[in-house]
Amino acid sequence: MITLFDTLTGLIDRIAETGSRRLALGSSRRSFLARSGTVLVGGVLLPVLPFDRTFGQAHAAVGAIDDPTACEYWRYCALDGNLCSSCGGSVNQCPPGSEVSKVTWVGTCRNPTDGKDYLVSYNDCCGRAICDNAPFCNTNERERPGYRMGLHNDINWCMANTSQGYHCTVAALVGIAE
């Protein structure tokens, strides 16, 4: 009987030892640091990934005016920021002394004159102080919550540039939406 008891306790010892070694391998400081580093690097690289906002389908209001210095201009249907057209730039060009952001968001706006939908790339202009004399437009048609970063326009998209200061936003046409 003692040999059966010894065999049984030996088996239990081996199972306990194997389980504790596996647990130690998976929960060591080195393993924790490796997982933390992966999360940290992934979190840093996530903002510079390109985002596709074409399924947002934001449309301008009916009867929108054709004045690029007003928030009701049809290209500004998903814009959240100051207009560069009132800060020394144009609808699709940053003012002198600022540079276009490396990451952007895209919306789909309807041109009331021809009735077609266009893809509009919203580019923040970076590198200068915020343009206070321009109207601040906040048209959030079909905007998604902040945890869906590529569909959220309340983000400072200058984060990928060397100079991260926000100045204003332009709305460049990309093409016709299909």
- The DSSP code for 87 is T
105: annotated active-site residue: yes
Q: β-strands 105-110, 117-126: how paired?
A: antiparallel
Task: From the candidates 80, 105, 117, 157, give the one annotated as an active-site residue.
Answer: 105
Q: Which amino acid is at 83?
A: L
Task: From the candidates 124, 132, 154, 157, give the one annotated as an active-site residue.
Answer: 124
- The DSSP code for 143 is P
- C-alpha dihedral (22, 27, 28, 34), degrees to nearest 10: 120
157: annotated active-site residue: no
Q: Residue 24 in 3-state DSSP? A: helix
C-beta of residue 101 within 8 angstroms of C-beta of residue 158: yes
Which active-site residues does the annotation give?
A: 105, 124
